[in-house]
Amino acid sequence: MPEQCFLGVDLGAESGRVLAGLLDGKQIRLEEIYRFSNGPVPVAGTRRWNVIGLWSSILKGLSLAAQKYGDQITSVGVDTWGVDYVLLSEKQELLGQPYHYRDSRTEGMLKLAISRVPQEDIFNETGLQFMELNTLYQLLAMQETDPDFLNQAETFLLIPDFFHWLLSGSQVVEFTNATTTQCLNPKTGDWARDLFSNLEIPTTMLPKVVPPGTKLGTLRDEVMQHTGLGKIDVIAPATHDTASAVAAIPTSHTGTADWAYISSGTWSLMGVEVNSAVLGQRAFELNFTNEGGVDGTYRLLKNIMGLWLVQECRRAYERRGKTLDYSELADAAATADAFRSLVDPDDPRFLSPDDMLDAIKNYCEETNQPVPETEGQFIRCALESLALKYRKVLGWLEELTGTPIEVIHIVGGGTKNKLLNQFTANSCQVPVITGPVEATGLGNVLVQARAAGSVSSLAEIREIVLNSTETNRYEPQESEIWNQAIQRFDDLLKSAP
Ligand code: LFR
């Protein structure tokens, strides 16, 4: 079979990429066509996404792809982070500048929501962990403080759906990303309309939900003209980046919960794959989430603050006039003293601090630990704390599923941090397999390939990734000192401010 080309647009919180996935029978090769930066834009005391700027970069990437792969291209699809949305008016105008999930307007919204609907009912209806960044609380904040746009909204689209609309004119929400909103009922696969009415949020703007792999249409004429692409299909991949990443885990164990994954980037999403949402009391107490995946699977997982801690330390150093790259920071951490100070990575103060170094210092002060001073001490504290949090989550996953976890797969850009990979194996006391870095992009294009009939199942998607990419293995070491550290970490979580 000649090489088929599928274009994947993968937008992350720090950068976006247009990728070409070249499928040749049982092997896939992913090529980065164009990379551009992304990030929150401060706008008059708020944080927004520059979606028009992103669209312009996507068009540039698609033009470059057209020049290189022209007639070989079968389809295009977009994935991004979850929860954020745009509103379109009746005349299909973008209403306002879309908010970034770290904008502070949602503060207090969880409290407000549960004063109207019991928290357990919200969990039973949506199966989602409680995080104030969820779409539900963003919509509630809008309804409470500035309902004009909501009242005018004819269509609600999540960020990837918005780009699919720009590409093809389709106005639907893809399922995997819809499950990140806390607005969807995993049992019915439809919007949790009762919950919306109890929270007095309008529901008329909610479009149809479609599964990953749905053909949404073909490129608009104007996009073809602008980019030089032909009338190719626009296919919804698993539009939630984590769903795409987990679809591309190189495992031959699809269908069992004896392996865990960590999709590691700005966030660390750690969980197992299950065949139906886990909604019991214990999942609620532990604040676990059930996000929809490919082929009817669910990701039982927890959001862990992830390498955001390191990214923000780096930015804080930059503001102090010190520009360091990630490898310099990792090297400094590698030679710093072990377990000098620990933090709960998921303490709310770390979500959007003005200055991450100050936030970590304050946490250490309040918990009577040595305050980090050097770069190495800060980063070591962040990485050890993340690895210890992984161990806690591993234990909870085993408790919820009743299945011991034999191996952890880490995928995504975070796998480049070898120190964290080794810490994870040490802390969790199971082998860690890392790679591919580009799991999200691979998952995106392989779901498109499945829609085109070139691949048959989730298991085959994973087999192709296994055949096509390199992985590394880390064996657990230093079990004794990590076991002592986990004791200390447990005490910290119990007594933390
Ligand atoms: C990762 C991710 C997480 C989601 C967070 C915010 O990029 O998509 O899964 O919880 O971003 O949307």
User: Could you read off the pLDDT of 22-35 as tens digits, one per residue?
Assistant: 999 899 999 999 99
Ligand 1, atom nearest to 133 Cα: 6
443 in a domain, yes or no? no
The residue out of 225, 241, 257 marking a domain boundary is 241
Q: How confident is the model at residue 88 (pLDDT cuts 50, 70, 90)?
A: very high
Q: Residue 1 pLDDT > 70, yes or no?
A: no
**Ligand 1: lining residues by beta carbon, under 6 Å:** 81-83, 101, 180, 240-242, 265-267, 269, 303
> How far does the centroid of ligand 1 lie from the alpha carbon of residue 430, in Å?
25
Ligand 1, atom nearest to 13 Cα: 7
Three-class DSSP category at 434? strand
Contact 33, 438 (CB under 8 A): no
31 in a domain, yes or no? yes
> How far does the centroid of ligand 1 lie from the alpha carbon of residue 319, in Å?
26
Q: Residue 68 pLDDT > 90, yes or no?
A: yes
Place of tokens 């870095």: 437
Pair 187, 222 in one domain: yes
Pair 340, 365 in one domain: yes
Place of tokens 């065949």: 275
Beta bridge partners of 174: 210
What is the ipTM score, two decimals?
Answer: 0.97
**For residues 180 and 135, what is the distance between their CA atoms, to the nearest angstrom?**
8
- Out of 224-228, 253-257, 270-274, 341-345, least confident range: 253-257
Give yes or no: 295 in active site: no
Pair 179, 291 in one domain: no
The residue out of 212, 241, 270 marking a domain boundary is 241
Q: How confident is the model at residue 8 (pLDDT cuts 50, 70, 90)?
A: very high
CATH number at residue 475: 3.30.420.40
CA 190, 195, 197, 200 torsion-angle sign: negative
User: Could you read off the pLDDT of 355-413 as tens digits, one per residue?
Assistant: 999 999 999 999 999 999 999 999 999 999 999 999 999 999 999 999 999 999 999 99
Pair 141, 83 in one domain: yes
The residue out of 216, 241, 266 marking a domain boundary is 241
* Set 84, 103, 233, 241: catalytic member: 241
Q: Residue 497 pLDDT > 80, yes or no?
A: no
pLDDT score, position 128: 96
Pair 229, 258 in one domain: no
Pair 68, 213 in one domain: yes
Question: How many domains does the structure of the chain reveal?
Answer: 2
SS (H, E, C) 441-488: HHHHHHHHHHHCCCCCCHHHHHHHHHHHCCCEEECCCCHHHHHHHHHH
Beta bridge partners of 411: 263
Exposed (0-12), middle (13-18) or buried (19+): which is 91, by Cβ within 10 Å? exposed
Pair 50, 143 in one domain: yes
What mean pLDDT do residues 171-180 have?
Answer: 98
Pair 328, 180 in one domain: no
Q: How confident is the model at residue 496 (pLDDT cuts 50, 70, 90)?
A: confident
What mean pLDDT do residues 323-348 have?
Answer: 96
- Which helix (H) or strand (E) segment holds residue 243: the answer is helix 241-247
Pair 224, 101 in one domain: yes
Quote the domain boundaries for residue 273: 249-435+456-497
Q: Residue 266 pLDDT > 60, yes or no?
A: yes
> How far does the centroid of ligand 1 lie from the alpha carbon of residue 84, in Å?
9
Pair 234, 266 in one domain: no
Task: Return the structure tokens found at 318.
Answer: 């930059």
**For residues 411 and 249, what is the distance between their CA atoms, to the nearest angstrom?**
7
Measured N-to-C along each axis, helices 356-366 and 375-401 cross at an angle, to the nearest 10 degrees, of 70
Nearest to 82 by CA among 175, 152, 168, 7: 175
pTM (2 d.p.): 0.97
pLDDT score, position 377: 98
User: Could you read off the pLDDT of 146-167 as tens digits, one per residue?
Assistant: 899 999 999 999 999 999 999 9
Across all residues in the chain, what is the average pLDDT?
97
Nearest CA to ligand 1 atom 8: 81
Pair 281, 168 in one domain: no
User: Could you read off the pLDDT of 177-189 as tens digits, one per residue?
Assistant: 999 999 999 888 8
Nearest CA to ligand 1 atom 7: 81
Phi and psi angles of residue 473, each rounded to the nearest 5 degrees, phi first: -120, 135
Q: Annotate 142-193 with DSSP letters as a single string.
A: HHHH-THHHHH-SEEEEHHHHHHHHHH----EEHHHHTTTT-EETTTTEE-H
User: Could you read off the pLDDT of 278-315 as tens digits, one per residue?
Assistant: 999 999 999 999 999 999 999 999 999 999 999 999 99
Contact 337, 324 (CB under 8 A): no
Pair 46, 164 in one domain: yes
